Structure 1
Amino acid sequence: MVQIFGGGATGGGDPAKKVQLAPFGSRTVSRDSPNHSVFFWCRFLAAERPAPALERASTLSARSGGNHRRRERYDGSNHTPPTARTEASVPVPSMMRPRTTPEWNAFGAATRYAQTHDLSEPAEAAYLEALDEARRDILRRLVRGVIRGDPTGLPSPELVPPVRARIADAIPDVDDVEIPWEVTRAETYGSVAVLPLPPTNKTLLGPIKTTHGFDRHRIGDDSWLVGHTRVDRIDHPVSLLDLLDRAGAFVDDGQAARFRVEVAESVANLALARLADAVLGERLDPSSPVLRRVANGNAAADRPAALERIVTDGHPFHPAGKIRKGMSAADGLAYAPEFTDRIDLRFVAIDSTVARETRSRGRKRLTDRLFETFGGLEEAASDELPPDRPIDRFAVVPVHPWQFHHTILDRYEADRRTGRVVPLSYTHPATPLLNLRTVVPHDTDRLSDDPPHIKLAIDVQTTNVVRTLSPNAVTNGPQVTDALEAIASRESFDHLGFLPETAATCYYQPGGPHTEGHHFDDARHLSGMVRMNPAHHPFVGTDAVAVPAASLIASVPGTDRPLVCDLVSEYTATDGDGPDPRSFFEAYVDVVVPEQLLLLSKYGIALESHLQNAVVVFDEARPVAALIRDFGGVRVLDDRLAPHGLDVSVDPYPNSDIDADGEKDLYGKLYYALFQNHLAELLATLAHECDMDEAAGWDAVAHTARGTFDAIRAAHDVPADRVNRDEAALFEPSMQHKALTAMRLRGKRHEYVTSRVSNPLAREDR
């Protein structure tokens, strides 16, 4: 620790009036110090300027004697993490070495990946540098979630101007404290969130650069903890979780421990993913239009899959958005889309006596669809099935290779011995997509002309949920497909398309329905589904490109520029005046909003059209259609659907969430997914990165939504009072928000925890 006595750094002066530079990430300031500016200047010189990656890594190597796997580790169980220091006790940036067990666990895999792709010298330097920004990024998500989500057990935060006196007034029980100068920069921050954590005698300061629609705060690079005698910069998100635990924010100690691990794993995985971004960027031709550049430059089974591979940062809101609980870092390199375009898709045959098979109208069963898609699969199955049982007595299920080796062989061992479950030797290369469990088969001489997307079960947790495939999804998906296709046939949508889930199968013991327990778990771990590949949808054709909406806010590999900003640059407005983000966004809204509102108001179906589930079709840089995938989160209000006499019905599997409890359930699904998640995040990106007027963007959304409701009323197909209620709910002053951070603090997975956020569509002057 560097100590400055009086006015110099070499000693002397009054020891009672000393200013100490605490290790990087914290500071201790005497209230009696006569010259705080000396402290800040010396802190800047000693700690704020990170050395180049090579110098940092060399310093680490020299300090640790070449042994980077040091014994000091922070696994989230202690309230005070260890701090790295040089031999001369000069503060060292925390990114100099891993600090949590997950960061250490990823160290070897990251080093090998960097070495293979020649990212840095020494090889580990690239990962160590990425760790610092990953910690900051996950911390920003955590602070935003705590401020925005109003978690149970914590007081509500107060947002104050970035003025020293105003911040100090909002901090309880502290009369004289040094407010960090960083949070008082009015040219950088619009406000500061002040959140007391009473039992800890600490107060969280979260500087806010700007606030986007639905109270989506853009948090500053650093957040701070203010105590009675010291101010600490939070240098790891797990450190904040320790304080939240002591403040009573968690439902119990077990959930506190789980969330610490989830956040720590997200930091490590995000840092590792940032290395992949550099590798993907090396393959792109900068002279090509951006969609062609990314689609042709990234190896993948098809163009939409290539575009999906650039989403490396995980869920944009969730502090555990990069968790892959159950997978090691090496598993991530083998199976995650940012690292590989090929995994070996496996197959398992299930005796029909323990299989549940579903399909939509007029479609083939899953087994037949697989035999049709993969040349040689049927012959391989015939050769490997028990000789006393014909092949038509079996159903075949596609299986993720991780699941095949980690779960199937052990969990179904008894069934394997009796020949009721038969793992097959046949494999086929496939590209994994963003959600890890959906894959796209590679084109080989064995593949049919229209291969589907294949959704698999994998016993790995991402965000809040383990990504197996339940009998609920197997049962409901084809039924929702029938309903949506019947509606689409009647309405002839111009811009809204669906990616039908045509067939599914799961292991299923007789005597169901199984809604919990061992039989339910057996069903969800060995299951699979096929749905239409967006590249084959009629809206796409031969010239257009289907782009996962999540890719729009992801950076083009090798740059810091979001994909959507390059699209805006290439987009030419109707009047021919050149790039115009507002005109681009208006065209986008016209494609994704009107027909989804019609589907809700007229038919009582709310799609879960958030960024990951929406695929937007572009003709050059112009949005022309929206395709919605993944029907597991759809809500259906039968009181609205049944009167249309569509000759289809949705009879969901017991304990499914698909049946809407009422109109509010519809609003909570569509209005959150489409407006709060999809459009709000896209518009925030356009405003922050592409200089778009965000208020003008919300004006465009409001104008399109109002016009849609007017058109529905004018058609006289829907009771006017119902349309009025749907419209009023969308334009309420505040809207229900799905508080993901609060959900994890309370240990919730499927049950929502909500808060209220201000609604940018509700401006009185509209």
Structure 2
Amino acid sequence: MPFPSSAAEEAVAAELAAVRPALVPAYAASLGGARAAVLTRLWRALAFEPLPWIAGRKGAPDGLTLLLAGGGRLEGPPPDPYATRPYVEELLLDGTAHHRAGQLVRALGIPHGEDFAAELDASTASLALSRAGQPSDGQDPVPQSTREWEQRVVDGHPYHPNCRSRPGFSVAEELAYAPEHRPVVELGLVPVRAEECLVTGNWPERLREDGRILVPVHPWQAAHVLGRERVRSGFAAHPLMALRTLAPADGGAHVKTALSARLTSSVRDISVYSIETAAAVSGFAQGLAERLDGRLHITRTLGAATAHSPDLAAVLREPPELYADAAAGERVLPVAALACYPPARSAAWRARFARLALSVCLRVLELGVALEAHGQNLLVVLSPTGAPLRLVYRDLADIRISPARLRAHGLPVPPLSGRLVTDDVAVLRRKLFGSLLTGALGATAGSAGAFAEVLAEAAGLPATSDTEALLTGLLPTKALTFMRLSPDVPGDQWAELPNPLSGG
């Protein structure tokens, strides 16, 4: 017997019936799987994050019981911190079964829970919509381009319960702008007097006119934030996995646009600080990559501009495809798309990829840079036979740079200050481990057992304090649910996951 729909699920169904009625049956068929996917992500958070209203956790071979501060009990299956398949279809709160994440959070009655529950309902409905838009089995051609592989990433963040939360987007806008629906998006241009702009790098002549900078603008931003009257016609582009980053239809630099909407956890605008530091960080990162014997390429930031506002800014950067030899049959896949890539399902392929990713990213960390190497930023170049050859990294806006480590290796320290710069070892390791280990590699493995095999590849790497921490300590991950339920707590918050190698 089907379970009652949430108001968000019903609202999406009603709007879909009006704007794309042919998708209604597929959407309805996708709801059950979407509910389980979001509930599974929520159970991971409840099992491992430092939530103050959980007084204790009692594990047993057949499940986990959470002891709530108010005296209640929440029961579920044994949690796998690295599972990406949906395996939780219901959780029992004081004996009452809950099958929807939003419904459960409301029943818990926790601080800030109502807003979070609404986001979970919206995430579930949006995830079902994303899945509904996919071709039927046997009708989905093998992707030929990096963009097509990016559009294969349907389920969003592999661990965040808000994996498909897009507040402020109507169904029509999701269909028109979201990469998994494969639309063509018409970017606009906002002319801003050059003296009123901050520009770094080489802003192209095609985006200048009569002493003005033409700032590319996402159509959602034009409609909801800037006002359409300020925006002139621009150019067609394909949305990439990040949704607000697009590949122009006629080729050329990828365009990262400001989008003042909260997707998963963060508002996706572009800070003035990011524009100020873009050229310096890009130049520094290129020099660092040259020390990796061709195993790592970093897409250059070509130009960045802002009207001194996070709501009106854009970054132009190289396409990652530039770092693959197409004539030789090489191709580039974002790591998040590896779940859709059949060779990546074999243990031997995952081991080879893990050796590459761990050796490169740990070496970069040793030199003094912690990459935010999650499945969206990190890409892999594949041989014609599908073997992982080297890495490509994009989007330098949130790396961390250690002047002390750079100096220890005789490397120049870039002229930077602010949040990108730190010598705090815990911060550096959290940045890399929380993105590469408990993010990209964990999601690629898909389970704690498979992840243990992946991590074991680090044992053969040169011994460093970072490698030792990886092999023996608890592994950090962003406490994404705790952060959404703690709006008054600034900055990233962290949880620690068991290390399948150390048994911790």
Verify the 8 A CA contact 1:499 1:534 in the aligned structure 2: yes
Q: Find the aligned partners of 1:660 and 1:496 in 2 and give their Cα distance.
A: 23
Q: Percent identity?
A: 26
1:702 match: 458
**TM-score normalised over the length of structure 2:** 0.92
1:708 match: secondary structure: coil
The count of aligned residue pairs is: 503
Matched, 1:679 2:436: no
Equivalent-residue separation in structure 2 for 1:597 and 1:149 (angstroms): 26
Secondary structure in structure 2 of the residue aligned to 1:627:
strand
1:405 aligns with 2:223: yes
SS in structure 1 at match of 2:190: strand
Question: Which of 638, 641, 644 lines up with 2:406 in the alignment?
Answer: 641
Please give the alpha-carbon distance, in whole angstroms, between the structure 2 residues aligned to 1:403 and 1:226.
Answer: 41
The two structures, once aligned, show a CA RMSD in angstroms of 2.6
Q: CA deviation at 1:533?
A: 0.1
Q: 1:229-628 counterparts in 2 under 5 A?
A: 231-245=95-109, 248=110, 250=111, 255-278=112-135, 283-285=139-141, 293-295=142-144, 303-359=145-201, 365-368=202-205, 371=206, 381=209, 391=210, 393-409=211-227, 423-425=231-233, 427-443=234-250, 451-489=252-290, 491-508=291-308, 523-537=309-323, 542-553=328-339, 563-564=340-341, 566-568=342-344, 581-602=346-367, 604-620=368-384, 621-628=386-393
Report the counterpart of residue 762 of structure 1 in structure 2.
502
Specify whether residues 696 and 642 from structure 1 end up closer, same or farther in structure 2 by C-alpha distance, changes over 3 A only. Answer: closer
Partner of 1:744: 484
Matched residue of 2:164: which SS? Answer: coil
Q: Which residue of 2 aligns with 1:211?
A: 80
Higher alpha-carbon deviation: 471-480 or 496-505? 471-480
Q: Within 2, Cα distance between the matches of 1:140 and 1:212?
A: 10
User: How far 1:498 sits from its partner (Å)?
Assistant: 0.7
CA distance in 2, matches of 1:462, 1:154: 27
- Asked whether the equivalents of residues 337 and 431 of structure 1 are also in contact (C-alpha less than 8 Å), the reply is yes
1:394-419, Cα deviation, whole Å (9 max, x unpaired): 22211111112222227xx8xxxxxx
Gaps of 5+ in 2: none
Question: Following the alignment from structure 2 to structure 1, what is the Cα–Cα distance between the partners of residues 66 and 84?
Answer: 15
Task: Indicate how the Cα distance of structure 1 residues 110 and 542 shifts in structure 2: closer, same or farther if over 3 A, else same.
Answer: farther
Measure the CA separation in 2 of the matches of 1:525 and 1:596: 32
Q: Structure 1 length as normaliser, TM-score? A: 0.62
Distance 1:211 1:263 in 2: 20
- What amino acid maps onto 2:372 in structure 1? E
Task: Tell me by how many angstroms 1:672 deviates.
Answer: 1.5
- Rounded to whole Å, the distance in 2 between the matches of 1:357 and 1:320 is 34
How far is 1:540 from its partner?
6.0
Which is greater in Rg?
Answer: 1
Q: Distance in 1 between matches of 2:343 and 2:448?
A: 11
Give the Cα separation in 1 of the matches to 2:490 and 2:335: 24
Distance 1:353 1:146, change over 3 A: same
Q: Partner of 2:180: helix, strand, or coil?
A: coil
Runs of 5+ unmatched residues, structure 1: 1-46, 48-92, 163-191, 286-292, 296-302, 360-364, 372-376, 382-390, 414-421, 509-522, 554-562, 570-580, 688-692, 710-722
Q: How does 1:158-177 map to 2 (within 5 A)?
A: 158-162=58-62
Change (3 A) 1:204 1:212: closer
Q: CA 1:442–1:155 in 2, change beyond 3 Å: closer, same or farther? A: same
Matching residue of 2:468: 728
CA distance in 2, matches of 1:748, 1:308: 34
Query: Aligned partners of 1:648, 1:394: CA distance in 2, in Å?
Result: 34
Question: Which structure features the higher share of strand residues?
Answer: 2
SS in 2 for 1:466: strand
Look up the SS of the partner of 1:659 in the other structure.
coil
In structure 2, give the amino acid aligned to 1:273.
Answer: S
Which residue of the partner structure matches residue 16 of structure 2? 110
> For 2:92, which of 225, 229, 232 is the aligned residue?
225
